[in-house]
Structure 1
């Protein structure tokens, strides 16, 4: 049994600012290990790249873990909720098309953190891409295929 979702609390105080960097975390519905399927992970990668190529964000770093994603980007166009909604809805469509399913892919809501000027953004990027190491999924970052960073 899963506890009652509290995603509505994540929206309090949320503010989008173009030109600001954000670190967001989006979790798979019921923490299902969906992205142990590399092909499904690559579909999500394609959606992240599409948003970047359309100029909505400047992707700085991301890692797709088996049951969630961490994504560091600079917001260029639209609001933060709009960008996340786009990623979640488009990836749900492509993933479910592949799985021949109509299941929910993502939990409601997401966690976001605005990056402050004094934050070391490269250090944040290294921390993000090292998630598979800390989770014990691989022994070297290079052995994990679902990550990218602008500086690496």
Structure 2
């Protein structure tokens, strides 16, 4: 009898990367440590989120960085591998944080992904992502929270 999958292996069970599919991805910091409660670390990570996928053909539709986790609403491009894309986002943001002198592990191993179905309302999911700081009680209005972005916002 085979042993049931546990931990990170359980998260990967059945994971499939589909071109142009939109995924809601959540990953946490190592031991849920509030790495991004510090302004300079959060800003460094945010800069990486905004720039890391520009040369790949993947699109971050929206994201929010919380003190101990991040939510990304990501659309894969051609020949995308969700694990590689998430790995790139995590690696580049971790390097940016380490350049500021942080010596610990930034991200936990693994991530949770949910492929949006055709019947799911994309904008409702995006609003859910962006409203995370409100639900956590960090701010009273999303305009008060600096660590998020969405393609629907004019810069």
Fold shared, TM-score > 0.5 on shorter chain: yes
Instruction: Name 1:81's counterpart in structure 2.
Output: 83
Q: Matched residues in 2 for 1:53 and 1:67: separation? A: 25
Q: Distance in 1 between matches of 2:21 and 2:151?
A: 16
Asked if the contact 2:48/2:93 (under 8 Å) is kept, the reply is yes
After superposition, residues 1-152 of structure 1 pair within 5 angstroms as 6-77=7-78, 78-101=80-103, 103-152=104-153
From the two aligned structures, give the one with the greater helix fraction.
1
Give the whole-Å Cα distance in 2 for the aligned partners of 1:16 and 1:136.
34
After superposition, what is the alpha-carbon deviation per residue over 1:104-144, rounded to whole angstroms, capped at 9, x for unaligned? 11111000000111110001001110010000000000000
RMSD between aligned residues = 1.4
Aligned length: 147
Unaligned runs of 5+ in 2: 1-5
Question: What are the ranges of 5 or more consecutive residues in structure 1 without an aligned counterpart?
Answer: none
> Normalising by structure 1, what TM-score?
0.91
TM-score by length of 2: 0.89
> Structure 2: how far apart are the matches of 1:92 and 1:81?
16
Partner SS, residue 10 of structure 1: helix
Q: Which contiguous aligned blocks of 4+ residues in structure 1 show a shift greater than 2 angstroms?
A: none
Contact 1:51 1:57 in 2 (8 A): no
